[in-house]
Amino acid sequence: MSVSSDLRLAWLLTRGADRLERRRAVLTALGATAATGFACAAVALASVRGQVQFPYGNGLLDQPGTRRGVVAGLLLLLVPVLGLLGQCARIGAVHRDRRLAGLRLAGAGPKQVRRIAALEAGLACLAGALIGYAGFATAALSVDRAVDPVAWLGAAVVTLAVPVLGVLVSAVALRRVASPLGHVRREGAGRGPGLLLGLLLPVVLVMLGAGLVLVRGSSGTAASLPLFVVGAVVLSGTGAIWVAGTAARLIGRRFAPRTERPAVLLAAHRLQEDPWSAARSHAAVILVTVVGVGLAGLREVMLDQLAANEAETGVPQDVGYYTYGLNLTATAVLIALLISLAALAVGTAESLSSRRRALAAQVAAGVPRRILTRALLLETALSLTPALVLATLGGTAIHTAYARIAGQSVPWALPLLVPVGVGAACLLATATALPLLHRSTHPSRLRVA
């Protein structure tokens, strides 16, 4: 069969989708809309050349240097969006595997089945990309100045690239294809990098921070600070993700054979069975936490520095220029957090959907639903807490190094509220799947293969 035949079959499957498949398509389209909007805005700003005068943005978009920072922020927002698209591709995997197994019985090969499933996601991404382009066009036509034709061309290229990217992400997420008999070969929980390597990264991070503090006042410090920030985010974020998986495995091994509390027992066995599932679901949230903690501290230090300079020189500082940039960055981080929470909620729903027969069997055996609810929340809390602690340390290292360089005191109160808020938001995102948990535990689910 040709690609056109696969596309036609994917369209027919999309039109005849059930409620779960329609929800997956809607979430995928929303992710594609966000990706298209962010990328088109980045292309439009990147097409502006030289010094310009924008009537909005408080001067933040007037200079090329600050515009490049805004463009980089918009492009970084694509990372959690791609994570959301990957999670959406996994929704209803058991139901989709059964449907794709029917295609295998009809004579379709594994590559063709994977291609059809990826094209289904591509169609949803195409709808979302067109909506995002329409929003960009509306915003571009409403501004006072004419948009460069290069920006329109770049936005069109982005609109076409987003569905292609969605197809590739879906193909990677669906690399395991159901057999003709409807069975999916699933590998066991892979070995992670281990706790030692996860703890080694923050040690390196602390050493980098100590080196910057020692060279405080040197001319190379200002130039090395951006590299330190990027390194801190990467090192602490990666280490926190590894710690999330390793801690989930250790917690599962520790509590599963010893605890007498039913909810802890169920959560521990689940973490022991697949410890790296939590690390994959929490990856984007952990990275956002590192950036959020660092940004909260940097904001306090910069405002204190501006106030000190104004008191020392007597010259009024343009505080609005800096606060607008900081608020814009905080808004971008908040958007990334919301997208990451949506991906977490989607991943939780997929986990419940794949385990609905086992959950129904537990309820039929006498396990109260409130115990399953507590176990679901504990799965998130037990694996996420160690990662949030390490992410907080990474973000704290960022604003501590900057505070030492600027000669200001290190803020503590506001940055420490960020991981607390992120943890609470993750539990709320997990709780959004509780209605699905209650439906999945109905005795009729025992008949579902």
What integer pLDDT is reported at residue 198 of this predicted model?
46
Q: Buried b vs exposed e over 98-111: b needs ≥16 C-beta within 10 Å? A: ebbbebbeeebeee
For position 133, what pLDDT does the model report? Answer: 92
Model pTM? Answer: 0.74
DSSP string, 415-449: HHHHHHHHHHHHHHHHHTTHHHHHHHTSGGGGG--
Please, which residues have CB within 8 angstroms of residue 324's CB and are 6 or more apart in sequence? 57, 58, 59, 60
Mean pLDDT, all residues of the chain: 75
Please report the pLDDT score of residue 420 as a whole number.
93
pLDDT (tens, 9 = 90+) of the chain, 449 residues, equals 566 776 777 777 666 666 667 777 787 888 889 889 888 988 888 888 877 777 666 667 777 777 777 787 777 777 777 766 766 766 655 556 666 666 666 666 667 777 777 777 788 888 999 999 999 888 888 776 677 788 888 889 999 988 888 788 777 766 655 555 554 444 444 455 444 444 445 545 544 554 444 444 444 444 455 556 666 666 766 777 777 778 888 888 888 888 878 888 888 888 887 777 777 777 778 888 888 898 888 888 888 888 887 777 777 777 777 787 788 788 888 888 888 888 788 778 777 877 777 788 888 888 888 888 888 898 888 888 888 888 888 888 888 888 887 788 888 888 899 999 999 999 999 998 888 887 777 766 666 54
Q: What is the pLDDT of residues 250-293, one digit of tens each?
A: 888 888 888 878 888 888 888 887 777 777 777 778 888 888 89
Looking up tokens 């959950």, which residue turns up?
359
